[in-house]
Amino acid sequence: MRVYKTATTKPVPSEARYSTRKDGRYVTCLIGGKKVTGKVTSGGTVRIESPCYSLKFRDNRDIERYLRAYTSKKASEDLAETIRKLMEPGADAALVETLPAQIRKKLAEFGVIDTKR
């Protein structure tokens, strides 16, 4: 199971404010109504990282699944471990109760957990 952060690149708006740090040039601007700070790439675009971590895993039917996790890396890694345990045969049903409702719903859609649980 892979725990990672997604990133996108966007064109730099004309009203952006530039700054320089040890590791390169950064820009602060409004993108999509949100104030973001990102590193300027060599192509002149800004690289914006997602605040949340994502999980990438293969379910019991060998289908690759993606799930948005938490903003904390440690909490996201713990969630990945819990999902791994849920996919084992004879998994403890009490593990499902520890998950937030949104994640339980997504795992039920994937078929990782029973909707009866």
Q: Taking a C-beta distance cutoff of 8 angstroms, is the pair 87, 114 a contact?
A: no
Domain that holds residue 61: 52-110
> What pLDDT tens digit does each residue of the chain (117 aa) get?
999 999 999 998 889 999 999 988 999 998 888 898 899 998 889 998 889 999 999 988 899 999 999 999 999 999 999 999 988 888 787 888 888 999 999 999 998 887 664
Whether residues 106 and 59 share a domain: the answer is yes
Type and span of the H or E element at 94: helix 94-97
Burial of 95 (0-12, 13-18, 19+ CB in 10 A): middle
Q: Judge whether 72 lies within some domain.
A: yes
How many domains are there within the chain?
A: 2
